[in-house]
Amino acid sequence: MTAFREVSDRVWVARHTWFDLNIAVIAGTEGLLVVDTHASASAARAVLEQVRTLSPLPVAAVVNTHEHFDHTFGNGVIGAGVPVYAHETAAANTVPAGERAKRAYAAEPEDPHAGEVAETEIVPADRTFSSAVSLDLGERPVELVHPGLGHTAGDVVVRVPDADVLLAGDLVEESATPGFGPDCHPMEWPLTLDLVSALLTEDSVVVPGHGAVVDRDFALEQRAAIGGVAETIRDLAGRGVPVDAALASAEWPFPVEDLADAVRRGYQALPRSARSLPLL
């Protein structure tokens, strides 16, 4: 069972082997806020057991940093009877995203997690917002902010001002290439991280969606690399390089095999005026 560790005053993070996923707990004087809920109801029950060892206070609310199933499939367990918050787009996309994940696991029945994913009820957030909302856990305000498009269209970061902690979801990842998946927004992601960076101080603790806890410098370095992806896409399209030749036509800050969706989505996002006719 994965244990939580305190990364700042009454802010705990558990780094789980499955997906190298981080789940966080924030305590006020009146209750606990759980950020992300794991990839199955079974996994969430184990998380909840650990949460109960941290404090006698009840879980008061849950936040999903975005709609992907590894962050939402525990909603029905950890979020039972309490508000579950998410950006309005993430909440709307939780069921279709979860159904895609279930189909993927059904196609790989030998996967050791296939059964628990199949058995999980998909429960979307029931409290939504468009830009920002503040929660009061009892003498501790917590800010939920949608900084813009990035890993998905509905990413949320969670800021604990008095502890100088920012939970970045998958807008920042430490253990792998940032998630340039089929629903990413590579051209907007750098500007979104600029807003995230404005919420940080030199001493901020930054909790990525996956991997080790990092700091402001790491977040800025990743912003620069993601910005490099966006600028390379813009340059290639502007020079008329066809989308299917783009990956082989430039140097990239991340492994090429992780960037196919980023390039495709980036080309689609550019206005026609930013794209030249394909080179012959």
In the three-class reduction of DSSP (H, G, I as helix; E, B as strand; rest coil), residue 124 is classed as: coil
Is 142 contained in some domain? yes
Is-contact 35 4, C-beta < 8 A? Answer: no
Q: What is the pLDDT of residues 91-117, one digit of tens each?
A: 999 999 999 999 999 999 999 999 999
pLDDT band at 279 (very low <50, low <70, confident <90, very high): low
pLDDT at 1 (0 to 100): 65
Does the pLDDT at position 276 exceed 80? no
What tokens appear for 167 in the block?
């939970």
Distance of CA 171 to the CA centre of its chain: 5
For the chain, the average pLDDT equals 97
Phi-psi region of 257 (alpha: psi -120 to 50; beta: other; left: phi over 0): alpha
Q: Could you tell me if residue 279 is inside a domain?
A: no
Can you tell me whether residue 270 is helix, strand or coil?
coil
Is residue 35 one of the residues assigned to a domain? yes
Q: Domain residues for 258?
A: 5-274
Q: Strands 84-87 and 141-145: what pairing?
A: unpaired
Provide the pLDDT for residue 274.
75
Provide the number of structural domains found in the chain: 1
In a domain, 168, yes or no: yes
CA atoms within 13 A on the CB side of 15: 14
Q: Would residue 54 count as lying in a domain? A: yes
Residue 280 placed within a domain = no
For the stretch 42-52, pLDDT in tens is 999 999 999 99
Per-residue pLDDT, averaged over 183-200, amounts to 98
- Is the residue at 160 inside a domain? yes
- CATH number of the domain enclosing 222: 3.60.15.10
Range 180-208 average pLDDT: 98
CA 71/CA 21 separation, integer angstroms = 8
Q: What is the pLDDT of residues 48-97, one digit of tens each?
A: 999 999 999 999 999 999 999 999 999 999 999 999 999 999 999 999 99
